Amino acid sequence: MNRELNNDEIDYLLLHLSHQAPNIKILFNQHVIYTNHSTCNDTKKIIFTCSSYPVNTVHLEPIDQLPVLFPVSNDLTRWYTLTNNGTLIFHHDILKSAFYILSGWDEAHSTDADEHGRFPHTSSLLYQLDWLGKPLVNYYFEIILNGIKEYLVFHKTHLDERKPFNPFACFISHDVDRIWYHHPREAYWRFKQLLGIDVCLIPRKKMFNECLNDLKYFWRYKSKDPWWTMDYLVKTSRANGMKNTFYLLDQSQDKQGSRYAFSNPHIQKWSKNLTSPLAEVDIHAPYATIDKPVSLKETIDHFKAAFGRHPIGVRHHFLRFRYPDTYLLHESLGLKYDASFGFAGKSGFRNGYCLPFMPYDHKANKIINLWVIPLNAMEVTFLNYEKSGWKYFSDSINTMVDETMKFGGVFSLLWHNCRFDEKSFPGITDFYSKTIKSIHQKGAKGILGSEIASHMDSLTSGF
């Protein structure tokens, strides 16, 4: 990005700043100059010094431990100065720094992809700066607002502020990829491994026991399946002031599809017993969507036929999406929000922000009318990708929750319904319930995906 921000890009930042400071756009129009000139020291205005150079990653010097991505001045000891005559000068292009990270500039302009076609966390600038664990954009916004407040106090006025979610929110969601461990196709696959037809993924003695359990289940038939945990998830949330958003994956022919359809009688009966506004269901977009956009339209049609309403939100299977193309698709199909925006291989704040945001179409230079709820943590990340212990898992969640609480944001936790296997992960059920309880004890308010989208609409109204 070897140019200064244009007016549309500045408006994009102001939209998100307005969630904390409702009158920020009026203030900018009256008091702010965004310039590459350093001869405005006597204007009694707010001067944001701009940069027309690309992002600096070679000789990165921090100020107050925050990286200066677009340095302008030789002064690397402070972000801003309030002069004796009341002029506020930001010495480096902090607006461009915030826009670059928040709008996903590096991701939108990268061709890097992992084996699933996803933008890998190792290609992220925040990962390379070791800043995935903290919401850098929120810290940039804090610097901007602190400077503006000092300026307004000098001029005997003040800045109206609010916490977007007070004190903060916790968004608990579940991707329902499978509902039966003992589904005939699952059992058939395990028997093939036992017989040596397929590669056996676990010790053969353990596989023999799993196949024996399959036979016992089919013999008794109505015994409890270990993957049907949705009732437990709702019960645990209600006991701890939380809510549950479930993303259902419709049956498809590809290898990553589910083993059930939206119209499945068990799913229909279960979903009708969910108590609004404590739980809700929405769509888990097919794996193929990134290559075959029409598959999402077909999924929406199936959902409408099965549940009698248009879906509100979506999360993509395998977190497989392309920025911003997939979000333009969502906008065109009338979806209100997406909850896929996280890295499968690493927890944290993918675009340095702990609040829902609107994505940006850099090619068309416009905001996409869709709320994106960043995904901070997923059990698969810790158990499968990082293979970390419970302490690391717990410490990581606590750190992200504390960061989110500081800025009145939304902490998003994804836990698959089929990931409560005590044989593979002893203590996992207890860990989950204690984690939910701990987040609640810190003051989090449980919230649904649809409620987040509605709340963000209300915060943005009048902008």
Question: Six-digit token pair at 185?
Answer: 């196709």
Q: Are 336 and 450 in contact (CB under 8 A)?
A: yes
Amino acid present at 233:
L
Average pLDDT over residues 130-153: 97
- Residue 40's pLDDT is 62
- Using one digit for the tens of pLDDT, what is the confidence trace for 233-242? 999 999 999 9
φ, ψ for residue 184, nearest 5 deg = -50, -40
- Using one digit for the tens of pLDDT, what is the confidence trace for 32-48? 899 886 556 667 899 99
38 or 129, which is more confident: 129
Q: What is the dihedral of CA 73, 74, 78, 83, to 10 degrees?
A: -60
Average pLDDT, the chain: 91
- Residue 200's pLDDT is 79
| pLDDT bracket for residue 223 (50, 70, 90) | low
Least confident segment among 66-80, 209-223, 335-349: 209-223
- Residue 276's pLDDT is 74
Question: Six-digit token pair at 312?
Answer: 């509100």
Average pLDDT over residues 449-459: 97
Least confident segment among 124-128, 204-208, 427-431: 204-208
Those residues whose C-beta lies under 8 Å from the C-beta of residue 245, and which sit 6 or more positions away, are 171, 172, 173, 174, 279, 280, 281, 282, 313, 339, 448, 449, 450
- Residue 37's pLDDT is 66
- Residue 20's pLDDT is 96
| pLDDT bracket for residue 208 (50, 70, 90) | confident
> Which of 3-17, 58-72, 210-224, 261-275 has the highest average model confidence (pLDDT)?
3-17
Pairwise CA distance, residues 262 & 258, whole Å: 10
pTM, two decimal places: 0.92
Q: Residue 253 pLDDT > 70, yes or no? A: no
265 or 41, which is more confident: 265
- Residue 431's pLDDT is 95
Q: Which of 289, 381, 365 is nearest to 330 (CA)?
A: 289
- Residue 387's pLDDT is 84
- Residue 220's pLDDT is 64
Residue at token pair 């409890």: 224
Q: Are 463 and 25 in contact (CB under 8 A)?
A: yes
| pLDDT bracket for residue 19 (50, 70, 90) | very high
Those residues whose C-beta lies under 8 Å from the C-beta of residue 314, and which sit 6 or more positions away, are 247, 282, 283, 284, 285, 296, 330, 335, 337, 338, 339, 340
Total residue length of the chain: 463
Q: Residue 178 pLDDT > 90, yes or no? A: no
| pLDDT bracket for residue 254 (50, 70, 90) | low
Q: Are 297 and 267 in contact (CB under 8 A)?
A: no
- Using one digit for the tens of pLDDT, what is the confidence trace for 309-324? 999 999 999 999 999 9
Question: Six-digit token pair at 395?
Answer: 């410490």
Q: What is the residue-wise DSSP string for 77-116?
A: S-SEEE-TTS-EEESS-HHHHHHHHHTTHHHHT-----TT
Q: Residue 57 pLDDT > 60, yes or no? A: yes
Report the greatest alpha carbon distance in the chain. 85
- Residue 182's pLDDT is 64
